[in-house]
Chain A
Amino acid sequence: MKYIGFLLVFLVTLALGIILSLQFGSVPPIGKLLDPNQGFWQNSYSEDMDFQETFDLKNLAEPVKVIYDENLIPHIFAENEKDLYRIQGFITAKHRLWQMEFQTMAASGRISEIVGPVAIELDRMTRRKGLAFSAESALLYVQKEHPDTYELLEAYADGVNQYIESMGASDRPIEYKILDYKPEAWSSYKSLLLLKYMADMLVGDRDLEYTNLRNQIGQEMLDKLYPNYPEENDPIIESEKIWDFVPLEVSKPEGLEYPTSDIFVNSLPQPVEGIGSNNWAVSGSKTKNGNPILANDPHLSLNLPSLWYVMQLTTTSHSVKGATLPGALGIISGFNEDIAWGVTNATRDTRDWYAIQFKDESRTEYLYDEVWVKSTFRLEEIKVKGQIAFLDTVVYTHYGPVVYDKNFRSDRKDVNFSLKWTAHQESNEQKTFLLLNKGKSHDDYIKALNHYTSPAQNFVFASKEGDIAMKVQGRFPLKWEGQGKFLMEGKNPDFEWKGFIPNEQNPSTLNPERGFVSSANQHSVDPSYPYYIFDHSFEHYRNRRLNNRLREMNQISVKDMMDLQFDNFYLHASEALPVMLGLLDSMDVSQMDEFGIKYLNQLKKWNFYAFPNQEEPTLFFVWWEKLYEEIWSKWKIEGKPIVLPNKYQTTGLLKKEPENGLFDNPATGEKETAKSLAKASFLEMVEKIKKIENTEKDYSWANFKKTSILHLVPNFKSFSHFNVYTGGGAGILNATSERHGASWRMIVEMGENGEAWGIYPGGQSGNPGSKYYDNLLKKWANGEYVDVSLKSEANFFNPLLITHFNN
């Protein structure tokens, strides 16, 4: 009996020891997590309570000093570049390790390893797009052609790894503790992977959708509703620009026809509307102090830990400050003593699809130029937490990976679409940023950009010497008119890209007469540019608002530029609402209930701004949404992806051709017109808002759009912020919609007494237990900034912490 009693107690104790350290499904290892000495409690310390004054770091040539300011922005003072990037790696890992690793896991299709089978589809998609494949070839290219870059990438990786080694189990970021895994070693490959991740986030294409659309509505209607250039084009490079180069010849091969069959695949998710950015620079002639001022606000998915991490990087020869991407070297959007630069996405169709004809089901050979060519296979082993690995075989042609086939997002045996994408090509984007960081002049900027391939960006520039410039930089395929807009025939070499546009012929401008340069993801150029350019997602509103404002502004101060970044004017509403109200005129107001009359009166008096407390933006937004749905939903066919006309074209159609047959839905007995649809959608809007008013008591704009900043693991709701009180919206300069918006705002005034201001929705710390995790969020929501001017080691006012790194 005694023995049985002992055995029982012993087994209970053993079971407690083991079970509490194991993860069951989504339940974390409770014992490990709650242990106050090792578990999550230890992550409660903010960085200022728990830091080291000195640290012995291997491989340093000289001592390095890191001084943090009151917002936990580190200022690294090193003697040389290798030491600088080694410390950048160390410091970034110290504050953002989990995030930088998680993002590269996402980019290489390894999320299933962390979260289990729910992520298999996502991982397959990432791998089929070939992100890891392209980072591998980028690494080989950098090792061979750019040993100087490689050396710095290695130093950075060493810094990250020395941090990981120095870290005890209790120091591990909270996400590792909850999801129960450990950080692995960093490498140069991972830094390159991160830049591919950005390409994936920012580049899309609609080739398959356009193919279906052309079959459905015909080429003529396609040209009318989806023109290459909008009527009021206000391009990035000013229309007056003279193209003083001899373009390469390219023309459509005669008699070439696109394949015409419909495509039934579950097409890839695209970058969401609202991912975009603004940047601009005004020359000294337009500013109060006579110095150029540069501004940049990239709009991306709003997440925590924040996408950006602010740093100052100083060596004896240069000093640069701005936003870094944790995992990549140097500053991505920032400034030094001589120049400033910023980026917006230069959307452009750099991804094309080729239908491949294989010889047989083994898919080892495919037809090209009337001969059978060997394909290659890449076996993707996706490790899955708690399960056996998932194997996926991806076939590669000379174009690139066959993304869609019978095994992925298609049921049909004859679907084999190969992806050709500039992001797969050898490149060294990292070098662009390394060179910009220490650039001194417009020449240096142009030289730096020559290394930049993908994702194409509009690089804005300003210098202390007084230059302002803009260049649309990426590696752009040389295409004949219309090439790659639709699915192409893989066996016919006539469909191949004809080369690339030389860097020096990419659209650019230096000190234009109008005194400013700007970009907001709109068309790069006006139709006089001698090459064919196309993209589905060019912006039509932010660009015009921005340029209109910049044209009329003079005596500009930094404060004016801050106000412009936070500008809430809803240009689309100001153009569409009068048309919509005009269509309602015939409607008998007596038909409406008191709510309808109230909403109508509100809309009639609206000033077209989208401040958080206003109700009119909600009314307009919902009305527009319903109207758009009424007009175009008839085109949607289950399983057959298409794209609908954008709101700019739709607004134009409502205004100019309200009687057009396009408004009619042939499936109904009646004949719909713009008028009848405007009326129907208005009533739908009234019903919806009435409901909101009854349930939530509040249909103000902020409460309706519910801007949310989510932790990268969406289940970690309490690490996120919901319903942030702020204005703006998609298509507005302050582009803060529900899940997207300015992920970083920066204003830099050049010159001797130059100053710089920045803000982002989050904080420097990646630790949800730290007070620096989200301390900047409120300021961001209110349109405030923090001072991010360059600081010197000698006159560092009021440092928060100082760490000395010694060899």
Chain B
Amino acid sequence: MKKSLILFVLIALIVLIIGPYAPYWVLMIGVAIVSFVVGAGKVSSFFSSGLSFGLAWLGLTLYISIKTDSELPKRIADLMGLENESMLMLGTALLGFVIGAFSGLTGTMSRRMIERKI
């Protein structure tokens, strides 16, 4: 439980601090490394990483939307054939969850493999 909380916090920090300077696939590598180091269980790594990544992205979209009050999310939602901007936020969060979760799972599974070998 404790490990998954640590994982959650660390991944959120990666997304929020490194995110502005690196594309999302670099963050994926970062998540895998952190998950490797923390070494939580498979299920908790998957959900902890996914939720952390997804919620961080959701938080960012909320922050940007509220701060800017921009028409853009609505326009992009329209362009993508989505009903409204909430769907777009949800989509962004889901995408964040999926890439975070799988990166986390990859990290912890590779640790397991190495541990068995040793």
Please give the residue numbers on chain A whose beta carbons come within 8 Å of chain B beta carbons, in ascending order. Answer: 2-3, 5-6, 9-10, 12-13, 16-18, 20-21, 30-38, 40-46, 49, 169-170, 174, 178, 716-719, 768-771, 773
Interface string of B1-40 (1 = CB under 8 A from A): 0000000000000010001100111001000100000000
Are B95 and A718 in contact, with the CB atoms below 8 A? no
**Do A41 and B64 have beta carbons less than 8 Å apart?**
yes
Q: Give the chain B neighbours of A716 by CB distance below 8 A.
A: 79
Within 8 A of A (CB), among B62-90: 64-65, 67-68, 70-76, 78-79, 88
Nearest Cβ distance between residue B11 and chain A, in whole angstroms? 14
Name which residue of chain A comes closest to B18, CB basis: A37
Tally of B interface residues using CB under 8 Å: 39
What are 25 A-B pairs with beta-carbon distances under 8 A?
Answer: A2-B116, A6-B109, A10-B110, A13-B28, A13-B32, A17-B25, A31-B25, A31-B99, A32-B23, A34-B91, A35-B24, A37-B24, A38-B23, A41-B60, A44-B64, A45-B64, A46-B68, A49-B67, A169-B23, A717-B78, A719-B79, A768-B71, A768-B75, A769-B70, A769-B75
**A20 engages B60 (CB within 8 Å):** no
- A182 smallest CB distance to B (angstroms): 13
Chain A residues lying within 8 Å of B20, measured Cβ to Cβ, are 37-38, 170
Q: How many A-B residue pairs have CB under 8 A?
A: 120
> Smallest CB-CB separation from B72: which chain A residue?
A769
Known: A13-B105, A31-B95, A717-B79. A36 touches B64 (CB 8 A): yes
Which of A9, A31, A45, A170 has the largest count of B CB atoms less than 10 A from its CB? A9
Residue of B nearest to A44 (CB): B70
The interface residues of chain A lying within 8 Å CB-to-CB of B102 are 9, 12-13, 16
Nearest 7 pairs of A and B residues by beta carbon: A769-B72, A718-B78, A44-B70, A37-B19, A36-B60, A718-B75, A44-B68
- What 1/0 mask marks residues of chain B from 50 to 68 whose CB sits below 8 Å from any chain A CB? 0000000100110011011
Complex Cα–Cα for A719 and B72 (A): 9
Q: How many angstroms between the C-alpha atoms of A170 and B74 in the bound complex?
A: 19
- A30-B95, A34-B91, A45-B70 are contacts. A9–B23 as well, Cβ < 8 Å? no
Given contacts A9-B106, A44-B65, 12 further A-B contacts (CB under 8 A): A2-B113, A5-B109, A10-B110, A16-B98, A17-B25, A34-B91, A35-B23, A41-B64, A717-B79, A768-B75, A771-B70, A771-B71
Tell me the complex Cα distance, A174–B79, Å.
Answer: 12
Interface of A is mostly: helix
CA–CA, A40 and B70, complex, Å = 11
Contacts of B79 in A (CB 8 A): 178, 716-719
Classify the secondary structure of B's interface with A: helix
Complex: A641 Cα to B70 Cα, angstroms: 48
In angstroms, Cα B28 to Cα A57, docked, is 36
In the assembled complex, which residues on chain B have CB atoms less than 8 Å from the CB atom of A21? 23-25
Chain A residues near B88 (CB-CB < 8 A): 34
Residue in A6, A33, A169 whose beta carbon sits within 8 Å of that of B113 in the complex: A6
Name the residue of chain A whose CB is nearest to the CB of B68: A44
CA of A30 to CA of B99, assembled, Å: 12
Bound-state CA distance A49–B78 (Å) is: 25
Which residues from chain A contact B65 at a C-beta distance below 8 Å?
44
Closest residue of A by beta carbon distance from B103: A13
Given the known interface contacts A37-B19, A44-B64, the answer about A32 and B106 at a Cβ–Cβ threshold of 8 Å is no
Smallest Cβ-Cβ distance to B59: which chain A residue: A36
The closest CB in chain B to the CB of A773 belongs to: B71
**Which residues of A sit under 8 angstroms from B23, Cβ to Cβ?**
21, 32, 35, 38, 169
Chain A residues closer than 8 Å to B74, beta-carbon distance: 718
- CB-CB under 8 A for A16 and B109, given A9-B102, A34-B91, A45-B70: no
Given contacts A718-B75, A719-B75, A20 and B24 within 8 Å (CB-CB): yes
For the complex, give the distance between the alpha carbons of A740 and B61 in Å: 37
Residues of B within 8 A of A34 (CB): 88, 91-92, 95
Minimal beta-carbon separation of A36 from chain B (angstroms): 4
Given known A17-B99, A771-B70, contact A40–B28 (CB-CB < 8 A): no
Q: How far is the CB of A34 from chain B (nearest CB, A)?
A: 5
What residue in chain A is nearest B101 (Cβ atoms)?
A13
Indicate whether A6 sits within 8 Å of B64 (C-beta atoms), given known contacts A36-B57, A768-B75: no
Q: How far apart sit A169 and B24, CA to CA, in the bound complex (Å)?
A: 12
Chain B residues with CB under 8 A of A6: 106, 109-110, 112-113
**A49 B72 Cβ-Cβ under 8 A:** no
Decide yes or no: A46 and B95 within 8 Å by CB, A20-B24, A31-B24 being known contacts. Answer: no
- Chain A residues lying within 8 Å of B116, measured Cβ to Cβ, are 2
Report the minimal beta-carbon distance from B7 to chain A, rounded to whole angstroms: 16
- Residue with the greatest number of chain B CB neighbours at <10 A, chosen from A10, A16, A20: A16
A36 touching B68, Cβ below 8 Å? no
